[in-house]
Amino acid sequence: MRNTPQSIRLHIALFGRRNVGKSSLINALTGQNLSIVSETPGTTTDPVLKAMELLPFGPVVFIDTAGIDDRGALGQQRVEKTLKMIDRCDVAVLVIDNRWDHYESELLKRLQTQRIPTIVVFNKSDQHPPDLNLVRKLERQKIPWVKTCATSNEGINALKEQIMRLAPDKSQIQPTIIGDLIHPGALVVLVTPIDLEAPAGRLILPQVQTIRDILDHDAFCLVVKERELKYALAQLKNPPALVVTDSQAFLKVAADTPQNVPMTSFSILFARLKGDLTVFVQGALAIERLKPDSHILIAEACTHHVVGDDIGRVKIPRWLRQYVGAPLNFTHVQGHDFPEDLSRFDLVIHCGGCTINRRLMQSRILKCKEAGVPITNYGVTIAYSLGIFERALQIFPEALEAYKQEQTF
């Protein structure tokens, strides 16, 4: 449970003013003293993520946030970081101590706009009972509420039950990567280049998770480097059900894989897993509209060290400049940095998102949609710019049909 990646855990964020007991609630929910508790307002400064197991659900991430009423220049920065956590949470816990005014109203409005299931917690119930008028208002809006006292564990089980009731189905948090594309007993060939970007002694996360998903669906896989693919395929009595490659080796793998064998990339699988493949396919078509000096945002979810021929900073910009035949402007962001103002960009290209949860990727897609900026991802972009788009989408009928429909206009 402790080794489960954060990206596939249920994210539960606690919001509220300073000193309403958010950290105490996390300690009570987990049965451990994970968060610092103090009577001094503002003890929690930056959002803190704590990976835990919440029975009976399983692996989760609790997000402890700074108070939404923090003050001053630094306080405003903390509030901004707190509000960014809305993009990541699957369930929100709004903690109050019987006060409710514009702070809580604005926060609830944001949560409802992004359709985040929300529970209101009247904490410190040993000091004051829940306000009946507020309770009636919440019930009219069908917003669940619980009264708790974190220091005595009163109401903690009821809060856990509400969280479990509102939690999305596990299949929504982490849908299958490849299981619905293959049948039990199928062979999948995975092409995993070992280069400077490959972590020493291990495979990258999308490769590991894909292998596990194949095994979970009673199929099996053959893992090879791109140089050995042609030889490996020649040794098989029957062709594999699917070949999945690292996007950087797309051209060689496409050349070495027989036309009758479906082929795609890990990044395209994750485009479907974390985001919306059809949206990303439509976004890739914006490459045709790029002009000299168009501005492109490249977003990398992880914070790996940049190597000499980095995929996001070197290879994709090079392939796009070659495709467009003109100079282009690129802005790069990493980790959880993502611009609030997207209006200056002509295209957003996101990585596969293996290190972030599905909710955050969906939030970024929504922000791009609201800004009227097309968004796609690494694998989709590479397949399009290298001229192997239709082949890479062959096993995704809906996405392929969306592409063909766009081609008719």
Highest mean pLDDT among 52-56, 291-295, 299-303, 403-407: 291-295
Confidence of residue 193 (pLDDT cuts 50, 70, 90): confident
307 has a pLDDT exceeding 90: no
Confidence of residue 43 (pLDDT cuts 50, 70, 90): low
Q: What is the mean pLDDT of the chain?
A: 89
Distance, in Å, from the CA atom of 121 to the CA atom of 95, rounded to the nearest integer, reads 5
Average pLDDT over residues 65-91: 90
Q: For tokens 């945002």, what's the residue?
A: 297
Q: Which helix (H) or strand (E) holds 13?
A: strand 10-16
Phi first, then psi, for residue 114 (nearest 5°) are -95, 10
130 has a pLDDT exceeding 80: yes
Closest CA to 132 of 160, 106, 98, 166: 98
Fold of the CATH domain 6-172: Rossmann fold (3.40.50)
Structure tokens at 284: 């890739």
DSSP category for residue 247: G
DSSP category for residue 129: P
Q: For tokens 């290879």, what's the residue?
A: 315
pLDDT score for 310: 85
Average pLDDT over residues 278-291: 95
Distance, in Å, from the CA atom of 174 to the CA atom of 269, rounded to the nearest integer, reads 13
pLDDT score for 128: 83
Are 6-172 and 275-408 the same fold in CATH?
yes
pLDDT greater at residue 169 or residue 157: 157
Let me know if 72 is exposed, middle or buried by CB neighbors in 10 A (0-12, 13-18, 19+). exposed
Cβ atoms of 29 and 54 within 8 Å: the answer is yes
Find all residues with CB under 8 Å of 46, minimum gap 6, and list them.
66, 78, 81
Number of C-beta neighbours around residue 123 at 10 A: 28
Number of C-beta neighbours around residue 270 at 10 A: 25
194-218 per-position pLDDT tens digit = 766 666 677 888 999 999 999 999 9
Strands 48-54 and 295-300: unpaired
pLDDT score for 58: 78
| Whole-structure pTM value | 0.82
Radius of gyration, CA atoms only, the chain = 24
Tell me how far the alpha carbon of residue 110 is from its chain's centroid: 19
Closest CA to 217 of 242, 249, 192, 247: 242
67 has a pLDDT exceeding 60: yes
Q: What is the largest CA-CA distance in the chain?
A: 74
Phi first, then psi, for residue 312 (nearest 5°) are -85, -30
Considering the four listed CATH numbers 3.40.50.1110, 3.40.50.11420, 1.10.290.10, 3.40.50.300, the one that applies to the domain covering 179-268 is: 3.40.50.11420
Find all residues with CB under 8 Å of 110, minimum gap 6, and list them.
83, 86
Average pLDDT over residues 381-401: 93
42 has a pLDDT exceeding 70: no
Confidence of residue 1 (pLDDT cuts 50, 70, 90): very low
Handedness of CA 191, 196, 201, 205 (dihedral sign): negative
Average pLDDT over residues 2-12: 76
Distance, in Å, from the CA atom of 1 to the CA atom of 157, rounded to the nearest integer, reads 21
Where exactly are the structural domains of the chain?
6-172, 179-268, 275-408
Fold of the CATH domain 275-408: Rossmann fold (3.40.50)
335-376 per-position pLDDT tens digit = 888 999 999 999 999 999 988 888 899 999 999 999 999 999
Q: From its phi and psi, is residue 165 left (phi > 0), alpha (psi between -120 and 50) or beta? A: alpha
Average pLDDT over residues 143-152: 92
Cβ atoms of 329 and 293 within 8 Å: the answer is yes
- Residue type at 273? L
Q: Which residues pair with 264 in a beta bridge?
A: 244
Strands 263-265 and 242-245: parallel
Structure tokens at 308: 């000499």
Confidence of residue 305 (pLDDT cuts 50, 70, 90): low
Closest CA to 222 of 213, 230, 211: 211
Where do runs of H (alpha helix) occur along 151-309? Answer: 156-166, 170-173, 205-216, 229-235, 250-256, 266-274, 277-284
Phi first, then psi, for residue 98 (nearest 5°) are 90, -10
